[in-house]
Amino acid sequence: MQGDVRFEPRSALVADKQGLQDIEKITVAAADYLVEQGWLLFEHGYDQAAVVRELLQRNGFVDIQTRRDLAGHERATLGRRPV
């Protein structure tokens, strides 16, 4: 309960499905909220990038990319809703 984590929802810190339950729920529902060609971006654990890319691809996102943090860890993944 120190630092920035105290502002995170508990489910984001101890989610089921290897910590990906919330990311999966958001990915599935995103098409209902994003405009065409809108971007969805997730900050995730250093070892979750491949699974997040797979979730985005499975849910129809395109132009999927992962960005590294300053330490070189894959830390943020984004995808674009197609036209």
**E strand or H helix at 41:** strand 39-43
Q: How far apart are CA 34 and CA 65, in angstroms?
A: 18
Let me know: does 20 contact 48? Beta carbons within 8 Å: yes
Q: What is the pLDDT of residue 4?
A: 65
Indicate whether 82 pLDDT > 80. yes
Closest CA to 27 of 57, 64, 48, 56: 56
Q: What is the tens place of the pLDDT at every residue in 20-72?
A: 989 999 999 998 999 999 999 999 999 999 999 999 999 999 999 999 999 99
pTM for the full model?
0.80
Q: What is the pLDDT of residue 73?
A: 97
Q: What is the pLDDT of residue 66?
A: 98
Domain of 17, CATH number, reads: 3.40.50.150
Domain assignment of residue 69, given as a range? 3-80
Closest CA to 28 of 62, 68, 57, 66: 57
Number of domains in the chain: 1
Q: Which amino acid is at 35?
A: V
